[in-house]
Amino acid sequence: MLLKDIVEQKLCRFEGNADSWQDSIKLSCKALEDAGIVGEKYADEIIDCVRENGPYIVLMPGIAMPHSMENSPNAFGTAIAFTKLENSVSFDNCDGDGEKSASVFFTLAAVDNELHLKNMRKLFKMLTNEELCADLQKVTVEADLLALDAKYSR
């Protein structure tokens, strides 16, 4: 399952509080940046997209999927990273309407369309499981992600 892949690739982070939605995006990109999958300007691209298009990255209450435009000059690989914040961050102040907040982030980078679609299918399958989504809100360490992977892979 995707969670095990993320842990094995060392693309998960558990962070404290984010000061703003912009800060949350920067934190969510850090694992990809540390792995060399994206450049340091990748987070800025995502922030610009959210400013322009609103909080489209918040898929459901509590869960966001930050990503930049296709053919980003700051994406060097294809992967999904996981970031969990201690606090939920509101995206309502970026021209959103209604409650848009998240503490769980699945951040995407893509240069290989085939692998990206495969990753997206895995992520979609996970996010259609309401119980799993609720459990993701409670994780605090990598072992929690592995336990969820084992629980929901059956």
Q: 2-152: which CATH architecture?
A: 3-Layer(aba) Sandwich (3.40)
Band of pLDDT at residue 153, cut at 50, 70 and 90: confident
Query: What is the rounded average pLDDT for all residues in the chain?
Result: 92
Q: Which residues of 3-41 are buried (b: 16+ CB within 10 A; e: fewer)?
A: beebbeeebbbebeebeebbbbbbbbbbbbbebebbbee
SS3 146: helix
Tokens of 140: 């605090």
Average pLDDT estimate for 33-60: 95
Planar angle of CA 63, 113, 144, nearest 5 degrees: 35
Residue 30, pLDDT above cutoff 90: yes
For range 137-142, the mean pLDDT: 96
What residue spans define the domains of the chain? 2-152
What is the C-alpha radius of gyration for the chain, rounded to an integer number of angstroms?
14
pLDDT above 50 for 98: no
Res 105 pLDDT > 60: yes
Query: Is 80 exceeded by the pLDDT of residue 102?
Result: yes
pLDDT at residue 88 greater than cutoff 60 = yes
Please give the DSSP secondary-structure letter assigned to residue 136: H
Q: Minimal CA–CA distance to 134: which of 150, 152, 121, 118? A: 152
pLDDT value at residue 143: 97
pLDDT confidence of residue 133: 96
pLDDT, position 94: 57
| Complete DSSP assignment for 5-62 | HHHHTT-EEEE---SSHHHHHHHHHHHHHHTTSB-TTHHHHHHHHHHHH-STTEEETE
How high is the pLDDT of residue 147? 97
- The stretch 22-47 carries a mean pLDDT of 97
- Residue 96 — very low, low, confident or very high, per pLDDT cuts 50/70/90? very low
Q: What is the reported pTM?
A: 0.93
Residue 81, classed as helix, strand or coil, is: strand
Section 20-41 average pLDDT: 97
Tokens of 92: 């309502």
